[in-house]
Amino acid sequence: MKVRLTEQNEILTKLQESIVNLDIKSVHSACQEALAANIPPVEAIEKGLSKGMRIVGQKFESGEFFLSELMMAGEVMKEGMKILEPHIKGGGYRKLAKIVVGTVEGDLHDIGKNLFVSLAKAAGFEVVDLGVDVSTDQFKKCVAKEEPEILGMSTLLTLTLPTVEGVVRALEKAKLRNRVKVIVGGAPVTPQFGKKAKVDCAAESAVEGVNRCLDWAKELT
């Protein structure tokens, strides 16, 4: 059944609003409407769900939304993706780039990392999440195996900052550093530390981190 363009736009707007309104029930119904209207799942993701997440990110940066809203929006996004992704045929949803990410060794905090992962996936990245307490060797081996364009490290503890520097040195020694952009984030991370650790970006928030990754992805195309 052919659906009018105006009706398609209305459904895409519903998808966006379900994310912005943090409404899981609404995202379920809007995704089903999109499928019933024969809107390509890739278009529903990119022009509906992902656009909604970008709006949420802007609201977070402006102070209109807080961390709890940002995390909830990520959960709503996941629910929508569960419905739409099985209907994508032939790999039509092109991932922007691959990101390997983890919380460094000695740190078990994962809220910031998980938020970054949710936002990165929503933006269209393929994400390999190594979890928490990830050793230098694990990071190095995963970069060698997965060949990501980006490596992300998270830390909430000042005492684990030297570990970040150790990972960068290990990548240099293994001749892997030039293959990957390195981004680090967390409460103790500052631009000064980022320069000292020789990373490509020291992000002050998950939103800033994903935006920088988007900039890098544009350079790859």
What is the CATH number for 200?
A: 3.40.50.280
Residues 115-163 have pLDDT tens digits of 888 788 877 899 999 999 999 999 999 999 999 999 999 998 999 999 9
Domain identity same for 14 and 117: no
Share of the chain above pLDDT 70, in %: 95
Range with the poorest average pLDDT among 2-16, 25-39, 147-161:
2-16
> At which of 52, 87, 122 does a domain end?
87
In the predicted model, is pLDDT for residue 90 greater than 80? no
Burial classification of residue 98, based on how many CB atoms lie within 10 Å of its CB (0-12 exposed, 13-18 middle, 19 or more buried): middle
Q: Tokens 């503890």 label which residue? A: 157
In the predicted model, is pLDDT for residue 89 greater than 90? no
Looking at residue 110, its pLDDT comes to 85
Domain identity same for 75 and 115: no
Q: What is the DSSP letter of 100?
A: E
In the predicted model, is pLDDT for residue 1 greater than 50? no
In the predicted model, is pLDDT for residue 46 greater than 90? no
- Nearest alpha carbon to residue 203 among 220, 171, 181, 218: 181
Looking at residue 172, its pLDDT comes to 97
Q: Which long-range contacts (CB under 8 A, 24 or more apart) does 11-16 make?
A: 11/37, 11/39, 11/44, 11/48, 12/39, 12/43, 12/44, 12/47, 12/48, 12/51, 13/48, 14/48, 15/44, 15/47, 15/48, 15/49, 15/51, 15/52, 15/80, 16/48, 16/49, 16/51, 16/52, 16/55
The average pLDDT across 10-19 equals 96
Q: Is 192 part of any domain?
A: yes
Contact status, residue 41 vs residue 74, Cβ threshold 8 Å:
no
Domain identity same for 110 and 199: yes
The pLDDT mean for the chain works out to 90
> At which of 87, 112, 146 does a domain end?
87
> At which of 66, 87, 108 does a domain end?
87
**22: alpha, beta or left, given left = phi > 0 and alpha = psi -120 to 50?**
left
In the predicted model, is pLDDT for residue 186 greater than 60? yes
Q: Is 92 part of any domain?
A: no
State the pLDDT confidence band at 3, using cuts at 50, 70 and 90: low
Q: Is 93 part of any domain?
A: no
pTM above 0.95, yes or no: no
- Strand 181-185 and strand 126-129: the pairing is unpaired
Domain identity same for 140 and 53: no
State the pLDDT confidence band at 60, using cuts at 50, 70 and 90: confident
Question: CB neighbours of 169 closer than 8 A, spacing ≥ 6?
Answer: none
Token code pair at residue 16? 């966006």
The average pLDDT across 193-219 equals 91
Domain identity same for 102 and 76: no
- Domain containing 59 equals 5-87
Which amino acid appears at position 63 of this protein? G
Three-state SS for 54?
helix
The average pLDDT across 15-22 equals 96
Domain identity same for 70 and 108: no
What is the CATH number for 42?
A: 1.10.1240.10
